[in-house]
Structure 1
Amino acid sequence: MYRGHTIGVIVPAYNEESHVGEVLATVPEFVDRIYAVDDRSTDDTWKIIRECAAASRRVTDEPLDSDGEFGPEIRASIADGGRVGETEIVPIRHEENQGAGGALRTGYVRGREDGMDIVATIDADGQMDPEQLPRLLDPIVEDVADYTKGNRLGDRESRREMPPFRLFGNWLLTQLTKIASGYWTLQDPQNGYTAISQEALSAVDVESLPDDHEYPNDLLVRLNIADMRVADVSMPAMYDDEESTIEYRRFVPVTSVTLLRGFLRRMYTQLSDDRLDPAAVSYVAGLVSLAGALTSAIGVGSSLLKGEASTRDLSGIASAFATSVVAFLIAMGIDAVNNAENGVRR
């Protein structure tokens, strides 16, 4: 228990036999329950998780059930406020590989059902310093935020630690996620070191989170729609011999579609409110103007091939594009002001 709050930590793992044991061993002692989710690894990750779980059973002699999990009595004990200070590792294994988002989804559902006040996430690859966990928990405990996430771009030294390719990709995703989610002050959206309150966890329909690495972008959109406060917590990155499991050929198009879908869902929600949101109206105006400009451009292109295009046609297209740009900039400015209180940096 941490400052009067029960804490659950999800450790999603896929083929992390070299790191998962150390990660589980270094999770702070104030954590009440660790959900070690093996996403159908093909190495010894599951074996190591089971061994760590067995070693952590200091609070009870109750054996693991047939699914490799503790029985209902111990699962209910910590959420009731008892047995404080004894970390329990709950081993969970997927029957089929579900991806990074699927592993987090499983842990979130268990943490919500167990009544954990706060559920944090720590990757099993050893990139995250468990000693930083209190910095993620404090804003939620102090009722400053409902969801906190690490930010490796918070200072120049941390940015230097990130490989250039990751740094550029992270910067680009940051800009796109700001537009989609409405959290304009946040950076490093793919950071998997996070914490979420029970209230926020119950408000975002975690069962429908995406399966793969685009889940944090989608989750941020859901949090904004639910009017939750999100805080960036600056912290250093830790890189060793781990390898990224992201398949960029799939990740880029899938994440782009996820962000677009999330943005449209957020706009629809804002337009469906009792009052029309000025930012949503401006975004729609920009989209309409852009659609008109693209349609005109196609027509002019056809005319150019026939030698029938005029300067007036080209001027009209330029004017429509300029109008769309102005509308988008106005929308972004209004959106940033509207969401200023829901995005915080620590």
Structure 2
Amino acid sequence: MPRIHVIIPAYNEEKSIKQVIAAIPQELVTEIIVVNNNSTDQTAQVAQTAGATVLFAAEAGYGNACLTGIAYCLNKPAPEKPQIIVFVDGDFSDYPNEMPLLVQPILENRADLVIGSRALGNREKGAMLPQQIFGNWLATTLLKLFYNANFTDLGPFRAIRTETLVQLNMQDRTYGWTVEMQLKSAKQKIRYTEVPVTYRKRIGFSKISGTLKGTVLAGYKIITTIFRYL
């Protein structure tokens, strides 16, 4: 079994982070890394008590938290470096117990990147707001149009081979992170696939889709990222 690390970017998720960590199949992963993205609550303490490695990312931004986690993984000695990295959100909207579905195509050497698609899976009513559903549709339509990429979702729950992640040279520090990974995979002809995943209403309040400002900024960043790499 290859070494699998899980990276969880987390900003003020003290109410949910324990459940996320507990739901991760422990027999599958070698380390769970929670990147505390400048939280003002007890996220770090709860995560540490739950058994996760906690890193601190002072600069706000989803992508920045992910990059902090990646740098930690890549700085490990070769025998401890993960071969697969899984990303999952800290709000318990994803089902971490479905992680075997995401890593299976990589283990079977059928893909190097696997996106957990909420569009293909079962979504609890109200789990995604109308603006999220529309934004995903628009982004994936543009990815198909400009990059000939066949995605149905920009879902945060995803698995990727570590060497592939290095090859992608990820740069985005905010909302463009997920779409950057997908468009670069299409451009570089990386093998990718999607698997249906289950999605529920998150615990707590969304800092992005829960506010008009967050929705507009995220949408703007995603669209401009798609055009920047053309």
Whether the 8 Å contact between 1:102 and 1:210 is mirrored in structure 2 is yes
Q: Kindly indicate whether structure 1 or structure 2 has the higher relative contact order, using CA contacts under 8 Å at least 6 residues apart.
A: 2
Higher helix residue share: 1
Task: Map 1:128-143; keep pairs closer than 5 Å.
Answer: 128-143=94-109
How far did residue 180 of structure 1 move?
4.0
Structure 1 residues 231-252: Cα deviation after superposition (integer angstroms, max 9, x where no partner): 1111121114432222122222
Number of aligned residue pairs: give it.
219
How far did residue 149 of structure 1 move?
0.8
How far did residue 113 of structure 1 move?
3.4
CA distance in 2, matches of 1:233, 1:248: 26
Partner of residue 91, structure 1: 54
**Match of residue 187, structure 1, among 152, 155, 160:** 152
CA distance in 1, matches of 2:222, 2:55: 27
Whether the 8 Å contact between 2:15 and 2:204 is mirrored in structure 1 is no
Partner of residue 126, structure 1: 92
Percent identity at matched positions? 27
How far did residue 101 of structure 1 move?
0.8
Partner of residue 196, structure 2: 234
Q: TM-score, normalised by structure 1?
A: 0.60
Partner of residue 216, structure 2: 249
Partner of residue 158, structure 1: 123
SS at match of 2:123: helix
Structure 1 residues 206-235: Cα deviation after superposition (integer angstroms, max 9, x where no partner): 3xx211121111111222233211111111
Whether the 8 Å contact between 1:9 and 1:34 is mirrored in structure 2 is yes
Partner of residue 13, structure 1: 10
Whether the 8 Å contact between 2:123 and 2:200 is mirrored in structure 1 is no
2:189 is aligned with 1:224 = no
How far did residue 160 of structure 1 move?
5.3
CA distance in 2, matches of 1:126, 1:229: 28
Structure 1 residues 32-88: Cα deviation after superposition (integer angstroms, max 9, x where no partner): 011110001011112212323xxx3xxxxxxxxxxxxxxxxxxxxxxxxxxxxxxxx
Whether the 8 Å contact between 2:4 and 2:31 is mirrored in structure 1 is yes
CA distance in 2, matches of 1:205, 1:253: 22
Letter in 2 for 1:187: T
Whether the 8 Å contact between 1:181 and 1:220 is mirrored in structure 2 is no
Structure 1 residues 165-203: Cα deviation after superposition (integer angstroms, max 9, x where no partner): 3222221122123234431x21112x1000000220221
